[in-house]
Structure 1
Amino acid sequence: MEAVPARARAYVAGVVVLALICLAPPPSVRTPWWAVVLLALLYAGCERAAARRPFTGTFYPVLLAGAFLLPPPAAALVALPGALLSRAAQRPRRLRRVWRAAQLVVGVWLAARVHGALGGRDAVVHADFPYALVPAGAAILTFCLVLSVLDAGIRTLAERVPVRAWQGLFLRSLAPVAVQGLAGLMMAVLWRSPYGPVAALLVLLPMCVSWWVFAQYHRERAAHQATIRALVQAVDIKDGYTRGHSERVGQASMMIARELAMDEGRVEVLRFAGILHDVGKLGVPTRLLRKDGPLTPEERRVIELHPEYGHEMVRGICFLGEARAAVLHHHERLDGSGYPYGLRGSQIPESARVVAVADAFDAMTSTRSYRRARPVAAALEELRRCAGTQFDPAMVAALVRALGRHGWHPAVTADETRPPPPRPPVAGRPEARR
């Protein structure tokens, strides 16, 4: 996002000041500058390689090896050149680079302090296993915790993500950081051994291979996402009345999920669930989707097949996880009067209950050819009225809270290109056609 709130900029400035304090070396500590320069160049080279290989992320073994080998200020300095030269995919790029550099400096400094306080440097020099794992593990845990807390802070201030979401960030990043931290420990031990720094660099070879595999996985995932976009665009073209509806339902589903403090992995899955919920309309005749008059019972039954069509279309996309259940069940109702299977209450998957509320909210607040959009307040009042019978009250309450904090600013509107003329409501045109 280009417009960074003032509070987020102030937060970044505070972390930058803290990073500068961390970089100030105490006068009594001797710094092996040749090791600092070598590790800094190595880390900067890894970051430049990452810039040409999207999705690979930050290469932590070199940073953590520095935390295990060097005094805290020197270890923190290793992160600085590479972070300032790293790839920033979104604007403002300069601010993002400065933020990343300050975040890594603070994280590495604290990791080095914890490692040194627990006697880790002596354990590395003497290759004292398994005792060397205790200070190294504490340092890795500290590093991961600092990055997660700082990330949660910037997301809270810039994107208003709930503060409690930091726990999900920490748990999700702990395993990969731990693996890279162990590689950093192996580098440090070999560095201090008779084999020297050249042998330490050999540790990076298997890490580079795993890094490449990780990038390949993300490329494949990006290809799946491109397929999802193509499916949604096809739905928008086929059903012009609801153009942009899928994107907005994805946005509202994400807001509900975050308000419920779901981890970022589930938030992303529920966004996909909202985006794909109506993909089954590709199997419904266009004349029914665009019909202006009342639907016959037979035509209604045909339209009500679209959740099953959609589920068949996305069933083979493994990474969607529970989003597939949301596609199938988003028209179920708590009282059992929904379709396609008439599930009740907790029988309806949680993901489907989230998407059902997001779908109904956008349907009510979007202008359609057969009626004008309702105000947000009126739509929320209708959701509250139907909570407990049609919608899950917890999901409705979460949407109300999220909209109270963030407002509703959809990126796409159904009527942004050609506003349809207002028409009187058409009897028999059910919300199931949304």
Structure 2
Amino acid sequence: MRSVPPWARAYIACVALGAIGCVAPALTLRTDWGAVALLALLYAGCEQLTRCRFVGARAPRGMAAFFPVLLAGVFLLPPAAAALVAVPEALLARVEQRPSGPRRIWRAGQLAVACWVGATVHVGLGGRELLGIGGPAAPDFPAVLAPAGAAALVFCVVIAVLDGGILLTAERLPVRTAWRGLFVRSLAPTWVHGLAGLMMAVLWRSPYGPLSALLVLLPMYISCWVFAQYHRERAAHQATIRALVQAVDIKDGYTRGHSERVGKASVLIAHELGMADERVEVLRFAGILHDVGKLGVPTRLLRKDGPLTPEERRIIELHPEYGHEMVRGIGFLGEARAAILHHHERLDGSGYPYGLTGRQIPEFARVVAVADAFDAMTSTRSYRRARPIADALAELKRCAGRQFDPQMVRALARALDRHGWHPSVTADEPEVPAPRGNVPPPGSSDPRGAASAPRAFPEQPAGTADDPSTALANAARSDAPIGDAAR
């Protein structure tokens, strides 16, 4: 939203006008301006607290750390007054991204409308009476939970709907993706904030007065700080992985983007296998980092134009062990470390580094092996064009049971049939220079694998193209399927 498109400006203007319509009745009705000012000041102070470098880490982008204060206003105040609570902070807050004006107006309007709708629902369901507002009665538990939960729900819905609209108009996301996941991701946190806001409202109405409501905010702030720390650690993990992958890409530009594509294909397979989300994320890391051990291989070998000598092959075949040593101390990688070590193993025992067979090979390694070979065959290189997806799948199926786990191959086929294959292309990807010198022709065997020149057609040494035993031995050192060795 650096330069706001006309449609987005019109959308923001409509939300702002709607917010003005929501708060206008507060100017003519009998409004408890003391409660409005106190809640607005409390909300502004809490939001500023999350930005204080001395106090703690900032909450993740898009996370409203102190919705409990807004929801307390929804429960305590009439709709028009509740809509005013968020406006001062939203209009006066420091905005890091430009243009700041439309962003402030948008945020103020969005929160005002959401608070007004939530308070309207709460009033309509008799929530204020159940809280004892307007009379001497004590809060009626558990009856008070129903209107409070409904108000929090519609508050969440309005936030999600308006957020999707701004993504559609300002960020120009497609209609089918603009609202995807917005409501589901925010529902549980909003309900938790709603419970905290309800506790604030009850304490506010208690004999101890508004100051007692501050007691609710301390554990809420601690939980938000912990959550922010978790996201900061997660961002550090992502940065570590990006740095490692960029280092591999810089060392060998032949397969720039290969690691990310292997990670994407691995995730497709994982979803088809029904893996838990936590394991899917770790498997993505495994796919992205599977060739990080190439950093330990001399660059001259990765970029060598001609065939490799047996000694050079042995050096390059150490890269899974190099990679495992590099990441063994990174605790969050978990099972990914085994995949990095064993992704060149083959079901028939002809792989490396340990010649494991069948189920001895870790599940993650069997997934990454299929994803790696698939991208190797479907990626264009300077010396050959990419193979069609159908041909690559046919080759994977032909080699299933010997080189690849048939279950993983079937899962990839189902995923591609359902979702297709749309690998992202890096915008700043440089042109791959044409190989010089004695370049192995299409059909060459190269243990440098998919990190330098993944071959869909591994080469045979002179005079051995028709020797099946020699072909199989050469293909066992390649990232390509074994069947390609005879081609």
TM-score (norm 2): 0.67
For 1:402-421, what aligned pairs fall within 5 Å after superposition?
408-413=424-429, 415=430, 419-421=432-434
Q: 1:154-206, CA deviations, whole angstroms, 9 ceiling, x for partnerless residues?
A: 55673448549734x44433333232222211111121222222222232222
2:464 aligns to what? Answer: none
User: Hey, which of these two has a bigger chunk of helix by percent?
Assistant: 1
- Worse overlay, 327-336 or 112-121: 327-336
- Worse overlay, 99-108 or 2-11: 2-11
Q: Are residues 164 and 394 of structure 1, via their aligned partners in 2, closer, same or farther at CA, if it must alter by over 3 Å?
A: farther
Q: Is the 8 A contact 1:153 1:163 kept in 2?
A: no
Residue 181 of structure 1 is aligned with which of 171, 184, 194?
Answer: 194
- Worse overlay, 107-116 or 245-254: 245-254
Q: Any idea what SS the aligned residue of 1:220 has?
A: helix
Q: What is the RMSD computed on CA atoms of the aligned residues?
A: 4.7
Measure how far apart 1:133 and its partner are: 1.8
1:25 aligns to what? Answer: 25
Q: Is the 8 A contact 1:39 1:78 kept in 2?
A: yes
Q: Are residues 428 and 166 of structure 1, via their aligned partners in 2, closer, same or farther at CA, if it must alter by over 3 Å?
A: same
AA matched with 1:412: D
Residue 166 of structure 1 is aligned with which of 180, 191, 198?
Answer: 180
- Worse overlay, 291-300 or 324-333: 324-333
2-structure distance, mates of 1:298, 1:397: 42
Residue 119 of structure 2 is aligned with which of 112, 116, 135?
Answer: 112
1-structure distance, mates of 2:349, 2:31: 70
Q: Any idea what SS the aligned residue of 2:235 has?
A: helix
2-structure distance, mates of 1:357, 1:161: 31
- Worse overlay, 328-337 or 194-203: 328-337
For 1:141-156, what aligned pairs fall within 5 Å after superposition?
141-152=153-164, 154-155=166-167
Q: Is the 8 A contact 1:294 1:429 kept in 2?
A: yes
2-structure distance, mates of 1:217, 1:63: 25
Over the matched positions of the two proteins, sequence identity in percent amounts to 60
Q: Are residues 251 and 8 of structure 1, via their aligned partners in 2, closer, same or farther at CA, if it must alter by over 3 Å?
A: farther
Q: Is the 8 A contact 1:149 1:166 kept in 2?
A: no
Say whether 1:396 aligns with 2:408.
no
2-structure distance, mates of 1:27, 1:361: 64
Q: Any idea what SS the aligned residue of 1:188 has?
A: helix
Q: 1:93-139, CA deviations, whole angstroms, 9 ceiling, x for partnerless residues?
A: 55444443333233222222222222211222322222222221222
2-structure distance, mates of 1:263, 1:32: 50
1:45 aligns to what? Answer: 45
AA matched with 1:239: D
For 1:27-426, what aligned pairs fall within 5 Å after superposition?
29-52=29-52, 53-56=57-60, 57-58=63-64, 59-86=66-93, 88=95, 90=97, 93-125=100-132, 126-152=138-164, 154-155=166-167, 158-160=172-174, 162-163=176-177, 166-167=180-181, 169-243=182-256, 245-246=258-259, 272=285, 275-295=288-308, 303=316, 306=319, 310=323, 313-314=326-327, 317=330, 319=332, 360-361=374-375, 365=379, 371=383, 374=385, 392-397=412-417, 400=420, 408-413=424-429, 415=430, 419-421=432-434, 426=441
Q: Is the 8 A contact 1:70 1:112 kept in 2?
A: yes
Q: Any idea what SS the aligned residue of 1:54 has?
A: coil
AA matched with 1:54: R
Q: Are residues 310 and 292 of structure 1, via their aligned partners in 2, closer, same or farther at CA, if it must alter by over 3 Å?
A: same
2-structure distance, mates of 1:285, 1:101: 57
AA matched with 1:83: A
Q: Are residues 250 and 194 of structure 1, via their aligned partners in 2, closer, same or farther at CA, if it must alter by over 3 Å?
A: same
2-structure distance, mates of 1:64, 1:6: 33
AA matched with 2:108: A
Measure how far apart 1:22 and its partner are: 3.3
Structure exhibiting the larger radius of gyration computed from Cα positions: 2
Q: Any idea what SS the aligned residue of 1:428 has?
A: coil
AA matched with 1:220: E
Q: Are residues 183 and 358 of structure 1, via their aligned partners in 2, closer, same or farther at CA, if it must alter by over 3 Å?
A: farther
Q: Is the 8 A contact 2:376 2:450 kept in 1?
A: no
Structure 2: tracts of 5 or more residues without a match: 133-137, 399-403, 452-487
AA matched with 1:42: L
Measure how far apart 1:222 and its partner are: 3.0
Q: 1:210-240, CA deviations, whole angstroms, 9 ceiling, x for partnerless residues?
A: 2222233333333333332332233234334
1-structure distance, mates of 2:13, 2:421: 30
2:445 aligns to what? Answer: 428
Measure how far apart 1:395 and its partner are: 3.4
2-structure distance, mates of 1:166, 1:364: 30
TM-score (norm 1): 0.74
Q: Is the 8 A contact 1:60 1:177 kept in 2?
A: yes
AA matched with 1:136: A
Q: 1:329-380, CA deviations, whole angstroms, 9 ceiling, x for partnerless residues?
A: 7778999998886769xx955x985996588558855655xx36x58xx765
